[in-house]
Amino acid sequence: MLPLGVPIACGAAALLWRVVPPSHPESLSERFVEGSLLATVGAGLVLGVRCELGHELGRVRAVAHAAQRVLLRPLPARLDGLMIAAGQLSATRDAAIGGDLYEAVATPYGVRIVMGDVRGHGLPAIDAVAVVLGSFREAAHDEPELAGVLRRLDRSVQRYLRERARDGAFAGEPDAQSAEEFVTVLLLEIGTDGSLSTLNCGHPWPYRLGEGVRQLAYDEPLPPLGLFPLPAELPLYRAERLLPGEALFLHTDGAAEARNADGDFFALEAFLTRMNLDGPLAPAAVVASVHGELLRHTGGRIADDVALLVLRSDRPRVSAQYGEEPRRPRREPSNH
């Protein structure tokens, strides 16, 4: 109440000065005092309102950040023998998340990861992010096959688009699908033996970091979810086993398509190669380095949301034929 109490007292004094006029004509100094009191009243009232609005904005931001952290919750640093780090840059100011999504869960079938990108960016895309993440967190544990997980995600997205069209979210557009609302999705499954299986719907392929840097695959992915029905047969891509010490770098297209003031794209693969030359880095260090270089390249002006996820295998090395017991070194007989 202090910012309001001071101007109210000054205003009361100025009003009393007017109601009870002095017995002699006002001097210049008395008029100056009266004007100062009135100016103090106005400035104090503005300051009081501004302070109250600032406190209210702080409370709203705190609630918004808490809600966003529940939606896109932080990943554990370790998950079933894998080191994991993730991070996001939102194109919307003061937003912790936008249209990009990621999640990693340990299941009886291995560690399953989803990385996705909703068309558009910022706060309007959060509804679709919630739909995809909610469906994945359930299906990843229920579906024994990765294809079943993808079909569950597709049904959730299709249902979400139908509900939006029914509620008039595409008002003014002749066809709900003409809005081209879609979600790119990359599903990845890492078995306990390091085996890699993936399904890709319009998303950038990850990079493998180890003895060099290379993309996991160059195959043409499926169309994004929401544009066309999934085919009867889903092309499951099986990659080489993820060896101990190797890492996977997952990203959304906002990282590869970021431009500087001259319109040059960010050279993501070249930057990963330079980092890889210095030896294996912790996943958190990789995420922080790429984020820093992205901000430097764009001058701090990100035009699209960017999500990064890095996971590195810290599982112990196994024999060439996985499943066989590693040979124990023969102990030489002791002379004692």
CATH code of the domain in which 100 resides:
3.60.40.10
Residues 9 and 142 in one domain: no
pLDDT in the model for residue 68: 63
Residues 254 and 285 in one domain: yes
Residues 80 and 60 in one domain: no
* Helix H or strand E segment including 63: helix 28-71
- The pairing of beta strand 183-190 with beta strand 212-215: unpaired
Q: Percent of the chain, pLDDT > 90?
A: 50
Residues 49 and 88 in one domain: no
pLDDT of 201 over the 70 cut = yes
Task: Check: CB of residue 92 under 8 Å from CB of residue 123.
Answer: yes
C-alpha distance from residue 148 to each of 128, 138, 208, 292 (Å): 20, 12, 25, 37
* pLDDT band of 71, cuts 50, 70, 90: confident
Beta bridge partners of 311: 84, 248
Total domains, the chain: 2
Residues 44 and 100 in one domain: no
- The tens digit of pLDDT for each residue in 25-47 reads 556 576 666 667 667 766 776 77
**How confident is the model over 113-121, as a mean pLDDT?**
86
Contacts of 75 (CB under 8 A, 6+ apart): 84, 85, 86, 102, 103, 104, 309
- The pairing of beta strand 237-239 with beta strand 212-215: unpaired
pLDDT of 8 over the 70 cut = no
Q: Is 222 helix (H, G, I), strand (E, B) or coil?
A: strand
Q: What whole-number distance in Å separates Cα of residue 155 and Cα of residue 150?
A: 9
Q: What whole-number distance in Å separates Cα of residue 34 and Cα of residue 1?
A: 23
Q: What whole-number distance in Å separates Cα of residue 213 and Cα of residue 294?
A: 19
**How confident is the model over 278-290, as a mean pLDDT?**
90
pLDDT of 16 over the 50 cut = yes
Question: How many angstroms from the chain centroid is the CA of residue 240?
Answer: 28
**How confident is the model over 229-240, as a mean pLDDT?**
93
DSSP 130-162: HHHHHHHHHHHHH-SSHHHHHHHHHHHHHHHHH
Residues 50 and 80 in one domain: no
Q: What whole-number distance in Å separates Cα of residue 238 and Cα of residue 116?
A: 20
pLDDT in the model for residue 2: 56
**How confident is the model over 168-193, as a mean pLDDT?**
71
- Name the residue with higher pLDDT: 62 or 78: 78
**How confident is the model over 323-333, as a mean pLDDT?**
42
- Domain contains 291: yes
When the pLDDT of each residue in the chain is averaged and rounded to a whole number, the result is 80
pLDDT in the model for residue 98: 72
pLDDT in the model for residue 276: 87
Q: Which of 42, 64, 86 is the last residue in one of the domains?
A: 64
Residues 40 and 157 in one domain: no
- Name the residue with higher pLDDT: 63 or 118: 118
- Domain contains 211: yes
Structure tokens at 335: 């002379």
Task: Check: CB of residue 186 under 8 Å from CB of residue 178.
Answer: no
- The tens digit of pLDDT for each residue in 297-320 reads 999 888 888 999 999 998 776 443
- Domain contains 268: yes
Helices first, then strands: H and E counts in the chain: 7, 11
pLDDT in the model for residue 63: 56
Q: What whole-number distance in Å separates Cα of residue 336 and Cα of residue 333?
A: 9
Residues 50 and 97 in one domain: no
* pLDDT band of 168, cuts 50, 70, 90: low
Give the structural domain span for 31: 2-64
**How confident is the model over 127-137, as a mean pLDDT?**
92
